[in-house]
A and B are shown apart, each in its own frame.
Chain A
Amino acid sequence: MATAKAERLLNLVIALVNAPRYRTAGWIREHVAGYGDAPSDEAFFRMFERDKQELRALGIPVQTQDGVGDGYRIQRADLALPHLRFTPAEGAALALAGRLWETTALAAAGAGALRKIRDATDGAPLAPASDVLQPRVRTADPAFAPLYTAVRDRRLVTFPYRTGGAPSLPARDADSGNVPGAVERTVEPWGLVSRRGRWYLVGWDRDRQDRRVFRLSRIAGAVTAVGRAGAVIPPVELDLAAEVADRPETQGATEARLLIREGRAAGLRRSATYAHPARSERPAHPADAAHPDRSDQPDDRTGWDEVVVPVRHLIDTARSIAEHGPDVLVLDPPELRDAVIAGLRRSVAAGPPAPAPGAPAPTAITEQLTEQLTEVPGLPDRDGGERS
């Protein structure tokens, strides 16, 4: 079956690309091997119509004669790649790009594209890719291939999705929040985006009537495409990278002043915008005058460095400070100091978080991020309030 069809399609391509003028359907039926077997006019036209679609899907445009409707050909210039010329540097970039994808449908596509381009650069072969550079993009998630196809064909998908691991889900997600196991989601897939080695699907969640980001590693079963191709229309202004970007909080302090015990917390120090020696070795910092209520600081700063670090997410920064225990203290801002103290109090119990009625409500942006990425977890866990 596949042999007969592949043979018929190949003969059709050869016939139409070598045709000196447009060919009618009747001519094709009579002269191109494989079409003469059609038992009826209707069967022939159905077959021919499907074959044209198939060729277009492969990037082979069958032209129809303007105004006539019954005349077909394939322009050689539309079928074949023109002669291509690439500089050695461009060739090196292409060669790397061609092997970027590892073990997916796109791996074969990348290799195929590179082969075609090599064969289209007659006389000026592309340089082979350097072995000392090995960029790779992995798409190990089983959901990648079916989602890619659905995104490309713009078809609706359904899949079981695990949200059990997502902390502090907003109330509107209460139906799926914190339930181990998966809930079937129906999504208009807009695009796939990889960030820090993880793949995300960006789309419109039909059930929740909202734009959502799904992590592919949390898709707990088969992805099923439903409905017709072309049914999904992504918004024109869609910026996939921005959907999964690690956006800084838009309000609140953008930097914090810390005391770090000498020789400790090397990681925090890496992002310090300035650090100066302990107070005992320097004149009083002008900022100190503006904060007379410093009774909570160590009186003697010998052995401490004062540094300023950027704050992109309050809770994230609080975690990275809390993990150093008594080696790092927050001077400013007060909300960061409070967040660190609240976290440390919960750690004292060294168990699950106790009810925290006074805990600040998570901001919308942080909720969104925790749901999307959960690399920035944090936030008092609402579920925990029901325990103990």
Chain B
Amino acid sequence: MSDAAGTRLARMLAMVPYISRRPGLSLADLAAEFDVDVDQVTADLNLLMVCGLPGYYPDDLIDVVLDEDGGTVSIAFDAGLERPIRLTGDEAMALTVALRALAELPGLVDAAAVHSALAKLEAISAVGANAPAGPSGLPGAPAAEADGDGPAAPVQIAAADPAPALPAVRAALDARRQVWMRYYTASRDVVTERTVDPIRLLVTEGHAYLEAYCHLAGAVRHFRVDRIDQVRVLDEPAQAPLWVESAVPERMFHPDPQLPAATLRLLPASHWIAEYYPVEVVSDGRDAGAPAPGGPVAPGGAPTPGDLVVRMQAGDEWLIRLVLGQSGSVAVIDRPDLMAEVGRRAAAALAGYGEGVPSVEDGPGPVVPA
């Protein structure tokens, strides 16, 4: 209840200066700006009209001029509310945390400008907190968490992995030039050279991505900027895209829909795979004992409590590498051929170290079914 009143009060206080600066504003635009429907905006305006200076004679009230036919609004008398009120704790937090996050991405925006904007914000946030507030001042008040020299903000976005190519990519975008690059494709573990027409820079999921038309692939692709090993801005102008999306894709990593799905059994040591890659969880280990559908029982026996069974789309080579890296804590249960290849490569690698299989010097060692 009080939250609703507080939210509404904050919105109405913000509406007055917003409308005064835009006489004849349409109600639809006003509603969109404040992310509420037109009915709510109309109700807010009707409430504003009955508020004003003590006395509450007609000339004391906020004068909201509604043009019902045109659906527009202006404000003729604002009862002293002509300026936007100071940032709330949440607003200051949202902006300062975001600015600090931008500052952690060298090359994306002008870092000096980010820091000077932050300093200006902190100056205006600090005034309210330091003002002589009298005996009923601020201690304990949950707002005003703006930080100058005070404690660090309780919300933080940790720095992304360094992406040395970011400034060059940014420059190419601004100059609308093509880019030549050496790019590491992690899913295939290869480095390729490509020429691309940059479209946008997206920063999401903690990484910067260049969205670009790739001449090698003949399609629009997303490139993780920290995987661009070498970059050169070319003289060639980049082809303007037909249209630029404003949305950012939900996930940056899309499995190739052409790839077949494989069923993986993950021991607890490898449960991170289920959180890291797009997978479909078949069994979360609670119904242990029931064999997972879609294939022969994995080497090592039926699923035990704590095992996850998931399905994921991935290429054979990628799966083999994944399993090889996980020291036996992942099994592809419906692809015995892949598991055989894993075993072959592991044995070949051991032979490279002069190690036999199984070893006797290290205790019982793995139990290899005959």
Question: Considering only CB atoms, which chain A residue lies closest to B229 in the complex?
Answer: A270
B295 within 8 A of A: no
CB distance from A21 to the nearest CB of B (A): 13
A81 touches B200 (CB 8 A): no
B91 touches A180 (CB 8 A): no
Q: Which of B2, B120, B154, B363: most chain A CB closer than 10 A?
A: B154
A348 touches B343 (CB 8 A): yes
Contacts of A180 in B (CB 8 A): 284-286, 305-306
CB proximity to A under 8 Å, residues B23-76: 33, 35, 43, 47-48, 50-56
B352 touches A56 (CB 8 A): no
A92 to B92, CA, bound (A): 17
CB proximity to B under 8 Å, residues A168-221: 168, 178-181, 190-198, 217
A6 touches B1 (CB 8 A): no
B95 touches A119 (CB 8 A): no
Contacts of A111 in B (CB 8 A): 35
Residue-wise interface mask of B (156-181) relative to A, using a CB-CB cutoff of 8 A (1 in contact, 0 not): 11111100000000000110000000
Among the listed A11, A81, A134, A191, which residue makes an inter-chain contact with B84, where contact means beta carbons less than 8 Å apart? A81
Contacts of A349 in B (CB 8 A): 299-300, 328, 343, 366-369
CB distance from B138 to the nearest CB of A (A): 7
Residue-wise interface mask of A (350-382) relative to B, using a CB-CB cutoff of 8 A (1 in contact, 0 not): 111111111000000000000000110111110
B152 touches A244 (CB 8 A): no
A128 within 8 A of B: no
Contacts of B120 in A (CB 8 A): 84, 86, 90
A326 within 8 A of B: yes
A250 within 8 A of B: no
Contacts of B51 in A (CB 8 A): 7, 10-11, 14, 33
B298 within 8 A of A: yes
B134 touches A89 (CB 8 A): no
B239 within 8 A of A: no
- With A57-B141, A381-B268 known as contacts, the answer to whether A132 contacts B173 (CB < 8 A) is yes
A311 within 8 A of B: no
CB proximity to A under 8 Å, residues B78-100: 79-95, 97-99
- With A78-B127, A241-B156, A345-B362 known as contacts, the answer to whether A325 contacts B349 (CB < 8 A) is yes
Residue-wise interface mask of A (136-173) relative to B, using a CB-CB cutoff of 8 A (1 in contact, 0 not): 11100000000010011110000000001111100000
Among the listed B21, B271, B363, which residue makes an inter-chain contact with A374, where contact means beta carbons less than 8 Å apart? B271
Contacts of A351 in B (CB 8 A): 298-301, 328, 331, 366, 369
Binds B, one of A37-45, A93-101, A273-281, A282-290: A93-101
Q: Which of A107, A181, A295, A322: most chain B CB closer than 10 A?
A: A322
Question: Considering only CB atoms, which chain A residue lies closest to B244 in the complex?
Answer: A131
B219 within 8 A of A: no
B346 touches A344 (CB 8 A): yes
Among the listed A80, A138, A165, which residue makes an inter-chain contact with B275, where contact means beta carbons less than 8 Å apart? A165
A236 to B204, CA, bound (A): 30
Among the listed B6, B131, B357, B369, which residue makes an inter-chain contact with A54, where contact means beta carbons less than 8 Å apart? B6
B308 touches A165 (CB 8 A): yes
B235 within 8 A of A: no
Contacts of B21 in A (CB 8 A): 119, 122
CB proximity to B under 8 Å, residues A37-69: 50, 52-54, 56-66, 69
B2 touches A5 (CB 8 A): yes
Among the listed B9, B81, B94, B101, which residue makes an inter-chain contact with A113, where contact means beta carbons less than 8 Å apart? B94
B141 touches A101 (CB 8 A): no
Among the listed A6, A94, A341, which residue makes an inter-chain contact with B95, where contact means beta carbons less than 8 Å apart? A94
A349 to B350, CA, bound (A): 13
B258 within 8 A of A: no
CB distance from A161 to the nearest CB of B (A): 14
Contacts of B151 in A (CB 8 A): 234, 236, 238
Q: Which of A136, A238, A337, A349: most chain B CB closer than 10 A?
A: A349
A116 touches B14 (CB 8 A): yes
A247 within 8 A of B: no
A238 to B143, CA, bound (A): 20
Chain B: interface residue total (CB-CB under 8 A): 162
A80 to B173, CA, bound (A): 39
B233 within 8 A of A: no
Question: Considering only CB atoms, which chain A residue lies closest to B33 in the complex?
Answer: A115
A348 touches B368 (CB 8 A): yes
Contacts of B157 in A (CB 8 A): 137, 193-194
B1 touches A352 (CB 8 A): no
B296 within 8 A of A: no
Contacts of B363 in A (CB 8 A): 355-358
Residue-wise interface mask of B (194-226) relative to A, using a CB-CB cutoff of 8 A (1 in contact, 0 not): 000001111111110000000000000000000
- With A94-B99, A353-B329, A384-B267 known as contacts, the answer to whether A116 contacts B91 (CB < 8 A) is yes
Chain A: interface residue total (CB-CB under 8 A): 160
Contacts of B257 in A (CB 8 A): none
A143 to B257, CA, bound (A): 31
A59 to B9, CA, bound (A): 12
Question: Considering only CB atoms, which chain A residue lies closest to B367 in the complex?
Answer: A354
B47 touches A6 (CB 8 A): yes
B5 within 8 A of A: yes
- With A113-B95, A165-B275 known as contacts, the answer to whether A354 contacts B324 (CB < 8 A) is no
CB proximity to B under 8 Å, residues A237-266: 238-241, 244-245, 265-266
B138 touches A80 (CB 8 A): no
B93 touches A167 (CB 8 A): no
B108 touches A197 (CB 8 A): no
B285 touches A109 (CB 8 A): no
Among the listed B90, B174, B204, which residue makes an inter-chain contact with A109, where contact means beta carbons less than 8 Å apart? B90
Contacts of B191 in A (CB 8 A): 266, 270
- With A7-B51, A106-B93, A168-B269 known as contacts, the answer to whether A217 contacts B275 (CB < 8 A) is yes
B368 touches A120 (CB 8 A): no
Among the listed B4, B186, B269, B347, which residue makes an inter-chain contact with A2, where contact means beta carbons less than 8 Å apart? B4
Q: A10-B47, A63-B134, A194-B156 are in contact. List 9 more A-B contacts (CB 8 A).
A: A3-B43, A93-B99, A100-B102, A101-B94, A119-B18, A167-B269, A180-B306, A345-B365, A352-B328
A selection of 27 A-B contacts at a CB cut-off of 8 Å is: A10-B13, A14-B79, A52-B136, A53-B141, A63-B132, A66-B132, A97-B98, A105-B90, A110-B95, A112-B14, A120-B84, A132-B244, A133-B200, A196-B160, A196-B207, A241-B158, A323-B321, A326-B345, A346-B327, A349-B300, A354-B366, A354-B367, A358-B362, A375-B276, A378-B327, A379-B269, A380-B269
- 8 tightest A-B contacts by CB? A351-B300, A197-B205, A325-B345, A165-B271, A323-B325, A89-B113, A346-B328, A80-B83
